[in-house]
């Protein structure tokens, strides 16, 4: 049995962090669903920028959309929604089989809105309605400005993938916003069943400190952060507040481990997948990491609900001079800036492609 199937059987969803039109047209995504236990998909601007700007598979669609006089951003959303609707349809059997727990795809609101709450809310509602698929998440960053948008989108019935979370504190803030949105729905007499995931980024932690810690601490911080977040997740879903919501039809906002490809060549390419196996969670990974795990990965057990040795590991990093709380804030800020840079690169690529085709 492949390691991907074993991980799926252990209760963790494997999502692919990639989408291109070629994946859809060639049947490669369908094959990953059938053979590698893939049950969902995430996307980001960098993925689309490479496919649209450096390839030719989108040229005909870009040329057709150009004639409508769309802006570069509007043109992108038309292309992305076409792809994501097709992917959502491939995952729809999973979505139905799991009663809406799994089988999602994700689309990001413009990162240029990351610090504009009202604009994020409006765009999340617009894109969700335009997509017209029950198994589509709208990605909203869990920044201070994003939290009210997460609450408002949840209240409006929009399924949200909260992104750019880097710590247990970030996760709990996102979960709080989600629960407030659900509680507002209940108070208004609306259905409490609005799905969500909370995406905690892993590998960027180790990349940030690789030159600052001794060898025995390298490539351990991301895992400890993931363990810590998992403990918070399990504690929240066991709380009286959540149990009351679940009793009237709410479903947990699942913890999602993101950025789980190893960035250090000295570490195994399946490091974070093997270390963060956990029931009732999601791990989204690039295709190369997925295939590596299917080829030579191994399940060595699942995460302990109490966080295992995360406290000891985090204490060791603190002793080595790493201010984990300050680093979490920096990683989120840097992540938001990187998303904006990727988005601007995407729009430039679309603009260049449009001019070339014209």
Residues 6 or more apart whose CB falls under 8 angstroms from that of 261 comprise 203, 269, 272, 285, 286, 288, 289
Q: How many CB atoms lie within 10 A of CB 60?
A: 10
- Cβ contact 285:15 at 8 Å: yes
Residues 6 or more apart whose CB falls under 8 angstroms from that of 316 comprise 217
Instruction: Indicate the SS3 state at residue 281.
Output: strand
- Cβ contact 145:174 at 8 Å: no
Instruction: Indicate the SS3 state at residue 242.
Output: helix
| 89: its two tokens | 């349809």
- The DSSP bridge partners found for residue 198 are 162, 255
Closest CA to 328 of 90, 164, 130, 214: 164
- Residues forming the active site: 139
């Amino acid at each position: 049995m492949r390691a991907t199937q074993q991980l799926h059987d252990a209760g963790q969803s494997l999502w692919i962090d990639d989408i291109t039109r070629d994946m859809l047209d060639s049947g490669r995504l369908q094959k990953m669903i059938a053979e590698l236990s893939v049950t969902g998909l995430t996307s980001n601007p960098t993925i689309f920028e490479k496919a649209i700007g450096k390839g030719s598979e989108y040229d005909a669609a870009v040329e057709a959309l150009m004639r409508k006089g769309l802006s570069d951003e509007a043109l992108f959303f038309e292309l992305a929604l076409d792809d994501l609707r097709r992917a959502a349809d491939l995952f729809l059997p999973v979505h139905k089989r799991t009663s809406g727990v799994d089988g999602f795809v994700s689309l990001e609101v413009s990162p240029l809105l990351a610090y504009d709450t009202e604009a994020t809310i409006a765009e999340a509602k617009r894109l969700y309605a335009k997509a017209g698929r029950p198994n589509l998440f709208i990605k909203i960053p869990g920044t201070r400005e994003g939290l009210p948008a997460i609450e408002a989108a949840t209240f409006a019935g929009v399924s949200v993938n909260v992104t750019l979370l880097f710590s247990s504190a970030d996760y709990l803030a996102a979960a709080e916003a989600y629960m407030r949105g659900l509680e507002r729905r209940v108070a208004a007499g609306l259905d409490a069943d609005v799905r969500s995931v909370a995406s905690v980024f892993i590998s960027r932690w180790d990349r940030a400190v690789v030159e600052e810690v001794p060898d025995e601490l390298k490539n351990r911080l991301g895992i400890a952060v993931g363990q810590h977040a998992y403990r918070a997740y399990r504690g929240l879903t066991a709380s009286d507040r959540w149990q009351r919501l679940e009793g009237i039809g709410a479903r947990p906002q699942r913890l999602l481990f993101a950025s789980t490809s190893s960035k250090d060549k000295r570490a195994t390419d399946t490091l974070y997948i093997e270390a963060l196996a956990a029931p009732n969670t999601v791990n989204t990974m690039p295709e190369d990491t997925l295939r590596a795990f299917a080829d030579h990965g191994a399940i060595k057990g699942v995460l302990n609900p109490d966080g295992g040795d995360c406290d000891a590991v985090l204490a060791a990093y603190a002793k080595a001079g790493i201010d984990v709380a300050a680093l979490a804030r920096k990683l989120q800020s840097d992540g938001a800036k990187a998303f904006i840079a990727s988005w601007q690169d995407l729009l430039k690529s679309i603009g260049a492609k449009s001019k070339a085709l014209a």
